[in-house]
Structure 1
Amino acid sequence: MANRLSGATSPYLLQHADNPVDWREWGAEAFAEARERGVPVLLSVGYAACHWCHVMAHESFEDQATADYLNAHYVSVKVDREERPDVDAVYMQATQAMTGQGGWPMTCVLDHEGVPFFAGTYFPDAPRHGMPAFRQVLEALTQAWAERPDEITRVAASIRQHLAGAHVPSGSDPVDEAVLDDAVATMQSEYDAERGGFGGAPKFPPSMLAEFLRRRAARGDERAATMLDGTMRAMARGGMYDQLGGGFARYSVDAGWVVPHFEKMLYDNAQLLGLYARWGTPLGDRVTAETADFCLRELRTAQGAYASALDADSPDATGRSVEGAYYAWTPEQLREVLAPDDAVWAADLLSVTLAGTFEHGASTLQLLADPDDPARWDAVRTTLLAARDLRARPARDDKVVTAWNGLMISGLLDAGHRLERPDLVEAAVACGSFLWDVHWVDGRLRRASRDGVVGAPVGVLEDYGCLATAYVDLAAATADAVWLDRAHALLDVATTHFETGDGGFFDTAADAESLVARPRDPADNASPSGLSSLVHALLGYAALTGSGEHRAVAEQALASVVEIARRAPRFAGWSLAAADAALDGPVEVAVAGSGTQAQALARAARRISGALVVVAEPGASRIPLLKGRGLVDGRAAAYVCRQLVCERPVTDPDEIGLRAGSSPA
């Protein structure tokens, strides 16, 4: 029998709709019921592709006895962290303060005002590895609620005070050349020169930091170039990259990029798609093409937007749900689908061993060197991919998240330009149109939709920042000023309703639902922070329009994160990339004309690191950067500009880089 989640739009909540737990969605009704019954609120936060969320659901939430206990002693609330990042942010901060760590599933117990007095992550169904059983935790908290209310009140008050007083490092100094140079030096001290990436296990793709390094490398910084190239090669060659189907898993559980956590997230693939396109190497082009095809094939929805994730788990040959079952191979499985000599060759090429590099004798697929016979590899890859397609597929979380689709639009445009594939640009346009038509409601953004129906949760700052950046990129790619108008509307809401008063921004709007604390986190994580994404949008809008107002807001926002950039540059990569662009640019290139000559000029201009390039016939677009830009002696011409102040136009593509004063990307 379905519980109250059966009407939810979130695929994660729908996964729990048949639990015997009487789940509620987050909202005032749940807290009103808890007050009426005199019981605490159990808050469980996760997401659809989360492996340990599935484990805890199977062990505890599908267990009738555990559910009966929860239903009798708690009001239970389920939250999809991807749909409600504001709720997740507040309680993750509390969880980290109370336990010293965080993760999903996140388990918090709240008083009637929504203040947590207990927090943790995954709890097993029986005591294991030093962890108490979930039922033991529930019973102890029930007893404390009934017998020690003063202690509950004291702990909750302490956590409320902590959340209210959480300090965001800020400053007023500009993020200048010295800050950027120091950031590269800090990164060099944390760089894994042997295996690429930063730090030890687990290793996450440093997408935003890599873009900062790419920009510094384009300025001639050899340290940045070494770290960028080593990391990009390691990620593309290792098991975190799907060597058969394209696309990246969420992270590597080891320091050598061998074994991934197999879930594939849209935000990772969107960022890495654009990053590998901008890297501009043969390996980067291959990864770009394969990742773009993966996204179109497996993540694109019927409406032309992109689904949030593919699960880490899928049924194995026995029907048991196992992490990585869809992706891992044994030598015997290779022999089942390939000719004997091809099976031996492929096992050696892809590091498939008898002992296995993963679990149960299976191996992840690595491509540590280019194959000695590319045609043979193409045939083997095609055969293996067809065989893998016959396996039970991982589930797909098909909700459409605004921010992540904004990242995807930008990635598709970069890939389309690099590979000269109009279909990718067209896909970006279709996605941008869908988001505006469906997610822009009564002058404000909504966070997510599913099957073309928009959900109730409102947009947070990253939604405005990522989508505004995407619309600036679409304006440049299409020369259609309607995208610039839409970017302006988004930026107007963001700068009016999210500002903090000190140059920074909150993650939720001033008129959004009031939580225990108003989240504000300018640090990047797996995806750009709301602040850093907004800064990129503001700078891009200023570059196309000459708006000093928008550039000034961006510079103030960058100054508000200068201390994070100094102390922990790994968590400020996207802000650092924006600061690099702001130092003397970004470079703006207006190409007047059409046809092959104009496209050759545009192609050369897009090799300039961080350049915004717009192409149109004279007078055919109302984008300000193109105003007054005409042909030269009847030929297409490129105008290289900064803040709409342009150099003498050129008609030779080879001269564009000289005008920009920047090395090609």
Structure 2
Amino acid sequence: MNERLATSASPYLRAHATNPVAWYPWGEEAFAEARRRDVPVFVSIGYSTCHWCHVMARESFADPVIAAELADGFVSVKVDREEHPEVDEAYLAAASAFTRSLGWPLSVFTTPDGRAFFAGTYFPPEPRGGMPSFTQVLAAVRQAWTERRETVDAAASAVVEALAEAGKTSASDLPTAAELEDAATRAASFEDPEFGGFAGSGADAATPKFPMAPALGFLHAAGSTDVVTRALAAMASSPLCDDVDGGFFRYATRRDWTEPHYERMLTDNAGLLDVALDAGRDDLARSIAGFLTGVLQQPSGGFAAAQDSESWIEGARSEGGYYRADAAGRADLEPPAIDGKIVTGWNGLAIRALARAGSRLAEPRFVEAARWAADAVLESNIADDGRLLRASLDDIPSRAAGTAEDAGLLTAGLCALAAATGEVAYAVAARDVLDTFLGISPLVPEPVEGSNVASASVRPLDKLGDRTPAPRGGWADPVLKAQGTPDPPDSSDSDHPSGPSALALGALALWLLGAGQEFREWAADIVRAYTARSLAEPLSHGSMLEAALLLARGPRHVVVVTDDPEDALSQRARGLPADVLAFVTEAQARAFSEAGLSLFEGKTRADGRATAYDCRDFVCRLPVTDPDELG
């Protein structure tokens, strides 16, 4: 048993603890050992619900002969890409110099100082289909290292230089409303007219199809609602949607949404829950929320990262067999395994989506599920010194630092939960998360006894002290930073917001609650840096463009001050399209205002009646008490 992996906060690493390979987890220790022995480092990256990762593990990493070859000539590092997304991002970028077939398992060979000089993905146990066997790859890499070191070093340096050049970005003006409209039109032009969703021109029947929730979110916000409606309808009626447990699978291997790749990811489903809510697909929203709360929510309250595609059926591993069974058939089958690690940012996505679902659909159980998850993340995924951590498992915190993605998405989730519950403590926690990550002097309010969130009794904004963010760039991961790995390449919003997009959205969520104009300015600075790339490739940058859209137009806030969130005025408000929809009592409104969240300043009930405050495009209408006047 490899104790270095057995005590990890990653189910993926724990699953490899019984391998004969002498794995190291990601960290400086592995590279120091490689320097001591003067051998290359083999970095193997995957995740627990990756089918071909399982295959390569069974074929190669369980083989004592291959394990001996790795031990003799390499230092081997096993990485969970979901625990260390920055490591995955860095090595994917490096691997693109050696192969077009990027994916997982990702197999990268580096110098002892972390520079990649060869990479690939899955290598079979014997030569197959033009691919060399894994043992042949190991032999060739080892020969190059011992006999052609200068060539290896030159290749590694060339990759570093190319990545450094590619990672340079330049700021420009914020996108105009006209530019964003054009971007939405071009993104919508990729719609598959026959099967919905997105496919390039000339796509054949075997073209894989992904949900692409960030792109759908941007298109809906930009007014291309028909594209979104058709995509949701097509996916919901296809095998991509699980009609037993609810939720969607990762992607379809064919253009008509058939033959899914059966893993179910938290990111996809949290994002699609948001899209379904905005598109008015309440039935679909309830189905997705049911999957999140019924399958992925763990005993701690946090949401698991994913559910596997494989399960055991009649003593054999089956990919998708469980999901192809009907409800009666599943009753007798063992469900696929859950990757139970609680990823901070992904939980932030789910917290936001469920908090919004609870408010929109008048379903308190969804809000409570979001609250339970938020408390779990704040308890287990923040270190004693206030640093954000990437993940935890069974209350064991990961050694991986929280990323921009984690800080931004958790901030946005906590803000949505504050609006849904009327509890300012979650907004205060959101502000502290972002402040600490950005290097701003954080507030240190007194904790509420028996709670994981901060007290609402904090200083107002004009007495917060230094709120100037420290300059921030490059990697949060200390090993990548120490090795001088080039700054992150331009990130895209594929299945969920990238790190920069997440930070922009988190800052805007605080701004929408009235936390201060500086949060809007920080978001604007991020959007400016990615404007050119986002406008050029709108389908790949949906979340960044959605942030840009919010900056380009005035937001809409709807705050209902009431003692009964089920009254007629509240019910009418639930159906309104708004960037912030909040339900608070008068006491809660005062608490928000005293915490420096100006959206709630002066919000009271008129003549003792439930009162709604509707502000659009930076202009507030007169408060109303009659539901018919709210529209």
- TM-score normalised to the size of structure 2? 0.89
Partner of 1:542: 511
The code of the aligned residue for 2:514 comes to T
**Distance across 1 between alignment mates of 2:601 and 2:267:** 35
Maintained 8 Å contact 2:172/2:532: no
* 1:413 equivalenced with 2:355 (yes/no): yes
Identity of aligned residues (%): 40
1:419-477 per-residue CA deviation (whole Å, 9 max, x = no partner) reads 32111101111111111122121121000001122121110000000000011111111
* 1:652 equivalenced with 2:621 (yes/no): no
Q: 1:171 to 1:177 in 2, by over 3 A?
A: same
* 1:612 equivalenced with 2:612 (yes/no): no
How do 1:427-442 and structure 2 match up within 5 A?
427-441=369-383, 442=385
How do 1:103-502 and structure 2 match up within 5 A?
103-199=103-199, 200=203, 201-217=207-223, 224-280=224-280, 284-317=281-314, 319-329=315-325, 384-441=326-383, 442-496=385-439
**Distance across 2 between alignment mates of 1:25 and 1:55:** 20
**Distance across 2 between alignment mates of 1:653 and 1:540:** 27
1:370-398 per-residue CA deviation (whole Å, 9 max, x = no partner) reads xxxxxxxxxxxxxx314213112211111
Q: 1:226 to 1:616 in 2, by over 3 A?
A: closer
Name the stretch that deviates more: 421-430 or 514-523. 514-523
**Distance across 2 between alignment mates of 1:401 and 1:146:** 40
**Distance across 2 between alignment mates of 1:73 and 1:308:** 34
1:504-529 per-residue CA deviation (whole Å, 9 max, x = no partner) reads 95452799853423325442122101
**Distance across 2 between alignment mates of 1:312 and 1:473:** 31
**Distance across 1 between alignment mates of 2:630 and 2:437:** 35
Name the stretch that deviates more: 573-582 or 136-145. 573-582
Deviation at 1:32, TM superposition (A): 1.8
Deviation at 1:48, TM superposition (A): 0.4
Deviation at 1:560, TM superposition (A): 1.6
* 1:600 equivalenced with 2:568 (yes/no): yes
**Distance across 2 between alignment mates of 1:100 and 1:625:** 49
Partner of 1:334: none
Deviation at 1:82, TM superposition (A): 0.5
| Helix, strand or coil at the partner of 1:321 | strand
Q: 1:167 to 1:500 in 2, by over 3 A?
A: farther
How do 1:633-652 and structure 2 match up within 5 A?
633-642=607-616, 645-652=619-626
Maintained 8 Å contact 2:348/2:412: yes
Maintained 8 Å contact 1:303/1:434: yes
1:520-544 per-residue CA deviation (whole Å, 9 max, x = no partner) reads 5442122101111221221121121
Partner of 2:454: none
| Helix, strand or coil at the partner of 1:303 | coil
**Distance across 1 between alignment mates of 2:429 and 2:158:** 43
How do 1:9-24 and structure 2 match up within 5 A?
9-24=9-24
Deviation at 1:57, TM superposition (A): 0.6
The code of the aligned residue for 1:291 comes to I
1:17-38 per-residue CA deviation (whole Å, 9 max, x = no partner) reads 1111111111222112212222
Deviation at 1:593, TM superposition (A): 2.1
**Distance across 1 between alignment mates of 2:365 and 2:334:** 29
Q: 1:579 to 1:655 in 2, by over 3 A?
A: farther
Maintained 8 Å contact 1:523/1:564: no
**Distance across 1 between alignment mates of 2:437 and 2:170:** 20
**Distance across 1 between alignment mates of 2:488 and 2:574:** 37
Partner of 2:460: none
**Distance across 2 between alignment mates of 1:649 and 1:419:** 23
RMSD: 2.3
Q: Where does structure 1 lack aligned partners over 5 or more consecutive residues?
A: 218-223, 330-383, 658-665
Maintained 8 Å contact 1:618/1:626: no
Q: 1:166 to 1:603 in 2, by over 3 A?
A: farther
Deviation at 1:654, TM superposition (A): 3.4
Deviation at 1:599, TM superposition (A): 4.2
Maintained 8 Å contact 1:215/1:609: no
| Helix, strand or coil at the partner of 2:324 | coil
The code of the aligned residue for 2:573 comes to A
- TM-score normalised to the size of structure 1? 0.85
Deviation at 1:67, TM superposition (A): 1.3
**Distance across 1 between alignment mates of 2:474 and 2:113:** 22
Maintained 8 Å contact 1:4/1:22: no
Maintained 8 Å contact 2:381/2:389: yes
| Helix, strand or coil at the partner of 1:604 | helix
Partner of 1:101: 101
**Distance across 1 between alignment mates of 2:575 and 2:362:** 13
How do 1:510-589 and structure 2 match up within 5 A?
513-515=481-483, 516-545=485-514, 547-589=516-558
Q: 1:589 to 1:419 in 2, by over 3 A?
A: closer
**Distance across 2 between alignment mates of 1:7 and 1:556:** 40
Deviation at 1:269, TM superposition (A): 1.3
**Distance across 2 between alignment mates of 1:502 and 1:230:** 44
Name the stretch that deviates more: 637-646 or 15-24. 637-646
**Distance across 2 between alignment mates of 1:522 and 1:321:** 35
Deviation at 1:629, TM superposition (A): 1.7
Q: 1:213 to 1:602 in 2, by over 3 A?
A: farther
Maintained 8 Å contact 1:409/1:432: yes
Maintained 8 Å contact 2:209/2:253: yes
Deviation at 1:138, TM superposition (A): 0.6
| Helix, strand or coil at the partner of 2:605 | coil
**Distance across 2 between alignment mates of 1:524 and 1:487:** 22
Name the stretch that deviates more: 2-11 or 461-470. 2-11
The code of the aligned residue for 2:582 comes to V
Q: 1:546 to 1:57 in 2, by over 3 A?
A: closer
Structure 1 counterpart of 2:601, from 621, 624, 627: 627
Q: 1:159 to 1:502 in 2, by over 3 A?
A: farther
Q: 1:635 to 1:474 in 2, by over 3 A?
A: same
What is the aligned residue count? 591
Q: 1:504 to 1:570 in 2, by over 3 A?
A: farther
**Distance across 1 between alignment mates of 2:331 and 2:75:** 42
**Distance across 1 between alignment mates of 2:378 and 2:114:** 34
**Distance across 2 between alignment mates of 1:28 and 1:115:** 14
**Distance across 2 between alignment mates of 1:544 and 1:9:** 34
Q: 1:512 to 1:593 in 2, by over 3 A?
A: farther
Maintained 8 Å contact 2:252/2:260: yes
Maintained 8 Å contact 1:46/1:81: yes
Deviation at 1:111, TM superposition (A): 0.6
Maintained 8 Å contact 1:504/1:560: no
